[in-house]
Every structure is written in C-alpha cells, then in structure tokens.
Amino acid sequence: MLERPPLTVALIGNPNTGKSTLFTALAGVRQRVGNYPGVTVEKKVGSMRLGERRCELVDLPGTYSLAPRSPDEMVAVDVLLSRRGDVAGVDAVISIVDATNLERNLYLVGQVLEMGLPTIVALNMVDLARARGLTIDVERLREQLGVPVVELQANRGVGVNDLKRVLAESVDAPAARNRVSPFPEAFQRETEHVQTLWSRSDAKSENGREPLPRYLAERLLLDTSGYLQNTLTSQAADARAGEELLAARKRLAEAGCAVPAVEAQCRYRWVAEVLDGVVTRPSQRVEIVGDRVDRLLTHKVWGTLVFALLMLLVFSSVFIFADPLMGMIDEAIGALGGVAEAALPPGPVESLVVDGVIGGVGSVLIFLPQILFLFFFLAVLEDCGYMARAAYLMDKLMVRVGLSGKSFIPLLSSFACAIPGVMATRVIENRRDRLTTILVAPLMSCSARLPVYAILIGAFIPATTMLEFIPLQGLTLFSMYLLGMVTAAVVALVLKRTLLRGPTPPFVMELPNYKWPSPRMVLYRMGERGWAFVRRAGTLILAVSILVWAASYYPHNAAEVDERLEPRREALETQLAELDVSSPQREGVEEQLVEVENEIAAVYQRESILGHMGRAIEPVVRPLGWDWRIGCAVIASFPAREVVMGALGVIYNLGGDLDVGAASDQDRLGARMRAAEWDDTGEPVYNVPVALSIMVFFALCAQCAATLVIIRRETNSWRWPVFTFVYMTTLAYGAALVTYQVGMQFF
C-alpha cells in the first residue's frame, strides 16, 4: 500500500503566544533551520507523524498582522498562499492564540481565515487565563469561528495530542464553509475590481494558479506604504494598474471606507462579534503574582538594579561554569595534537595536522562552552518572560542612538562573543534595527580581545595610580571596553541616518505572562545554537587556519637555518642524548635546545609567505608605530584575533604554543617585546603609544572570520559582512593612527 502524500502545516501566531514552544513540542528534534531565499527571516521546518501520514511543519515568523511592508514580512503571506517555491503548498494552518488576550490575537486569526485554508485555533495558556479569573466558553468560540478550537498548555505538553488528532481530522474533512468577509460591500467590490485588473495585467504563473489571490488584492487596496504595489507592478504588463488602484482608494474614501483605517475598524468589529458571550471576566481585575513582580522588575530604579545584577550573574556564570569545560577541551585538543605529533614524522604533514587542522578546530571549539551556557541562560530568561521586561527597561537608552530596547541584549551578549550576539538579534522584528545591531555588535570587546589587552597593558602601562586611587592599568582596560561601546553608539547613529535611514519604530512589545521555562525548549535552543556555531563558524575557521598555516610555513627553506641554526640544534640534541637523566646539566641543555628550536621557527616565519607579507605592508603600518613583526601578527590574526599572541610567540622566539593565561609566559613575551628593535635604526619598537595603538586597533577591527560568516548567514548576503570588515578595518586603522601620532607628542 502506497503511503499517502505528506501534509504541509503552517504555524502562525503573535509574538509571545508560545508558537515556538508548540512547534518544538510537535516536531521535537526532527527540525531544521535555515533562511528563506532572498530574505533575512529564519526558516524553521520540522516533521511529525499523523497516524500513517508524514506531516511537514513550517514555523512562520511571529507577527501581529498579515500586512506585508517588506520582503521579510511578505514571507508569511507567500507561504500561506503557496507562492514560494522553497515551501510546499500549505494544506492546513494552526493559528496559536493567547487565551488571556483573545481580542488582539483574533485580529490575526481573521486574516488567516480569509486565506480559505483548513484552520485550527490553538488556544494556549488556558491555565494563565483561569488564574486571571477569565472563563472561556470554548464550544461557543468554536461555533462563532466555524473552525476547531483546541485548549493547550504548550510549555507542559498539555493538549498537544488532542491538537494532533483534530489536525488529522481537519485535513481529511470536507472543504470548510465560505468565509464571510468583515469588509463592507463597497470594499469587496473594489477588491474584485483590483483582482481582475491585476490578473489581466500579470502573466499566468507556471503552476496555472490565479496570479493574484483575493487576499493580495485586499492588501493592495490597504497598503498605503507602496511596498506591495511596487512588488506586483514590476510584474504587471498594464501600466494603468497603479492609476486604477489610486482611483479605487479614492472611491472607497468617498464611500466612507477610507484606507487603511477601514481594516482595523472592520476586523475589531468582527472580533467583538466572535467573542460575544465567549469570555466572562471577573467584576474586578484579579492581581496575580506576575503583576506584583512586574512592579519591581519594570521600575526605572529597582528594575534597572535587578537587571544589572542579573546580567552580572549571567555573564559571571558563563565564565565560571564554562572555564572547567574550556580547560577540558583545551587539554583534549592538546592531547590529540600530541598523539598526532608522535604518530607523524616531522615535516609539513605533521605541521598541517597539528598546527593547521587540530589547532584551527581547537581555536573554535574552546569557546563552545561559553556559547552553550550563554544561550542556556538567555533561553531561560526569554522563555520565562523576563527578556521583554529587560528590553522595556533599556528602550530609553537605546532610542537615543536610533535603536530600540530589543537591541540591548544582543549587544550585551557580544561582550562574551559577537557570534551569539549576532544570532541573538533574531528577536528584533524591525529589519533596519536588526541589521544595524548586527553591524555594530562586533565592536563590543569580546573575550578574545582580553589576552591582547592583558599582555600589552602588563608590559607597557605603568602600575601606578591616577589621583592617588585610580589604577592606571585598570583604567586603560576599562577605556578599551568603553571605546567599543562609544564607537558602536556613534556608528549606529550614523547608519540610522544614512544607509539604514528610517524612523526608529515605536517600541511596542507586549509583556508576556510569566511561566516556567520548558526544559525541552531551553535545551533545544541551547543545542541548536551550539551546533550552528560549530557547523557554520568552525568549518570556516578550519579552512582559514589551514591557509594561515600554509602562509606561515612555506617556503620553509631558509638558508640561515641550514647554515647557522641546524648545526647548533644537532649539537645540542647529541649533547642531550649523552647526558644522564639525573645530570644537573640536562635542564640547561634542554632550555638551550628549546630556544634554538624557537629561533628556527621564527626564522622560518620571517622567510615565509606571511613574513614577506608583513614586510611588504610595513610602510603602511609604520605610521602606526608598527614594524613588520607586528604587521605579520596582525595579518595572521584576521581569521581569529586569538591567533595574534601565538604568532607573536613564534616571531619573538617563544614558540607558537604560548599560554597567554600564564603569568610566566606573559612576562616572557612582554620582556621580548620590550627588547624588540627596529631593523634599520636599532631603536626600541615598543613604547606606550605603540601599545595603545595596537590595543585600539584590536578594539575596533573585524578580526573574526567566524563572526563575518555568521553575519552572512543572518543577513543572507555577503554584502553586509564585506561592509562590516571594510568599515571596521578602516575605523581601526584611523583610530590607531591618531592614537600613536597624538601619543608620541606626550611620551
């Protein structure tokens, strides 16, 4: 017996109604995430079984209305109308609504019903509605809507099986009755006129369906922004279509149906009719625990203090909990490298595997625990309802630079790592705000910059105090973090007034009801983001690390090594082999051998492709106070800024496995850097202005290929990561130049 064809079911609902929780409850781990082609909206598709039949679930973006004003907002409409080739035609719709706020949620339901698809209304959070004293006559609501209504507590899985059963019955049931339009007769006549006009103007689609569905004809009349008209007019052969549309709107205004106000009037009138006798409210508003909690958490003083303490706890916990796991991963990578080194003969293959492949993957995987813990805490805070309160508190601060409160959490996350910060921008519905936040998130000083700051501050900033109580080294470190924040605010303001010009949208966010986080949902989000980090970022870092290895390894034929250093190494190895294990001279010989091997590595690096590149750009970086060695290390660090300290370790004869977290290695590297001299003048390379110049450059430069790849994934275009790299590198060079040139006037 042949299996029946699979079904495609779309989930739609307002933000904070539990749609994603229900999607996870239905699909479980059988889901995949990507981007709709041509837009930045995330596409989440899952699968489940309805008896013997397979069912594809499509989780549509959360929205308050199906009124498209941009390509991103058009996604939900196109999917429901089967106008996207990357999603199969929708067979049924699950419209999830918040039982505590049916008046607002049914506005979207009314628009969905006009699509004419089999629809099930999932009445979620019924437990919270009862807690507020609301009584909902579900049977009457079912009759008034004319579609099945299922009660749910999605976060606890209550009612999910009933929803599956009703869904299976609905898709096999006879076609639903014709929907009665909430619009007046005059509007319906004009809709038919517009539909006929555009259908005559536009060519037939390949699948033979009507080119312009009735719902889009309604939207053409109602869309005064011009987005939909421009989109559809570009496909039309009749130039009169736009003129006829303006005439139709004029006739509607004369008939007392002015657009777009007529939609809100008609739909809320329909909602009132549907809810007549359905919801019974208590005579007085019932205050629940969440209301009392909100008085504290949304208070401008106490709420801000709680938020600051909570964020401090979250980020401290990220480092505290992640540190042991990061150490374990580091040890595992080191052990794996040791096994590979012992198994492979010395040469390019060994260096490729140990330094290129294993070292490259390790440089990414070591940050995975931080990513997982950060998203764990963010998922808990979001699922319990707190994140909306945090965004509300921060809105007044963010609006001054053209953003909204929703941008604050992603920017805060970027202090740990820009990658989760960029991914966290998915909570921002406004495309311009989301894109602006993505473009400035890498300016926040992430944890990978801290080793650079620590080495240079410890080596070149005096351990003195200002005004007898402010530590100069601590002030310098704070200044680097402050520089990133101030620059991000300025860049955001410039972007919102130029490339991404547009009014800051009013911050409209419903404060969701508090609820216990769903462990399944939290763990899924944590795992999803962690895997996305490894899959998307790790692969590119691996590829780029191999390229950097090749550039720093080849041509590997320095004459100086063969003539001067190789005989010394052979002599020391022979001397070491002749000494007894307990000989007091053995330790000194081992130290000399390590120094010679490090010097050999430094010579190879200097004569490598990367070394030649460093000397080639020395005229460009010399105005910053840098010599070819610093330029070489900076070039190596563009794929991942963590590489810079290892590169400096090799360049200054300390080896590439320098542990920047160890005080002894910091002191050794600092001593070598202080002793470095210019090749042509013999003067010291490093001083305070040079150290500040390097730190400023690292604070502002886009030296993280993984972040650029994530920006490509989130924006669905290479244009924006290229723009980010160019503007940040230019900004970093200019700021470093000013820092050094001005600093030399005082030191």
Candidates 724, 742, 722, 731; CA nearest to 697 is 731
Q: Is the dihedral angle over the CA atoms 186, 190, 191, 196 positive or is it negative?
A: positive
> What 8-state DSSP symbol labels residue 534?
I
pLDDT at 237: 43
Angle of helix 688-700 versus helix 719-743 axis, rounded to 10: 160
Six token digits for residue 36: 């709709």
Q: How confident is the model at residue 576 (pLDDT cuts 50, 70, 90)?
A: confident
The pLDDT value recorded for residue 555 is: 83
Say which range, 68-72, 301-305, 399-403, has the weakest mean pLDDT. 68-72
* pLDDT classification of 209: cutoffs 50, 70, 90: very low
| For range 691-704, the mean pLDDT | 91
- pLDDT digits over 55-64, tens only? 889 988 888 8
Task: List C-alpha distances in Å: 507 to 102, 393, 399, 423, 692.
Answer: 22, 11, 9, 21, 39
Residue 280 phi/psi, 5° resolution?
Answer: -110, 125
What average pLDDT does range 233-256 have in this prediction?
A: 73
Q: Residue 454 above 80 pLDDT?
A: no
Whether residue 734 has pLDDT greater than 90: yes
**What is the token pair recorded at 661?**
């977290």
Question: Nearest 5°: CA angle at 406, between 403 and 412?
Answer: 95
> Which CA distances in Å does 410 have to 230, 352, 378, 596, 698?
33, 36, 10, 47, 21
pLDDT at 34: 59
Q: What is the DSSP letter of 513?
A: P
| Residue 46 near residue 59 (C-beta atoms within 8 A) | yes
- In the structure, what pLDDT confidence band is assigned to residue 204 with cuts at 50, 70 and 90? very low
Reduced 3-state DSSP string for 590-621: HHHHHHHHHHHHHHHHHHCHHHHHHHHCHHHH
**Cα(627)–Cα(620) distance, rounded to whole angstroms?**
10
Domain boundaries, the chain: 7-172, 185-256
Q: What is the pLDDT of residues 364-382, one digit of tens each?
A: 676 678 778 877 887 888 7
Q: State the CB neighbour count (10 A cutoff) for residue 619.
A: 10
Residue with the larger pLDDT of the pair 287 and 101: 101
Q: Which residues pair with 153 in a beta bridge?
A: 158
Q: Residues 177-206: what's their mean pLDDT?
A: 72
Q: Does domain 7-172 fall into CATH 2.40.160.20? A: no
pTM over 0.75: no
Q: Which of 356-365, 467-476, 520-529, 584-593 has the lowest mean pLDDT?
A: 356-365
Longest Cα separation, the chain:
106
pLDDT of residue 141: 93
What are the residues facing 46 on neighbouring strands? Answer: 31, 57
Q: Is the pLDDT of residue 605 over 80?
A: no
ω into residue 68 within 30 of 0, thus cis? no
Give the mean model confidence (pLDDT) for residues 10-24. Answer: 86
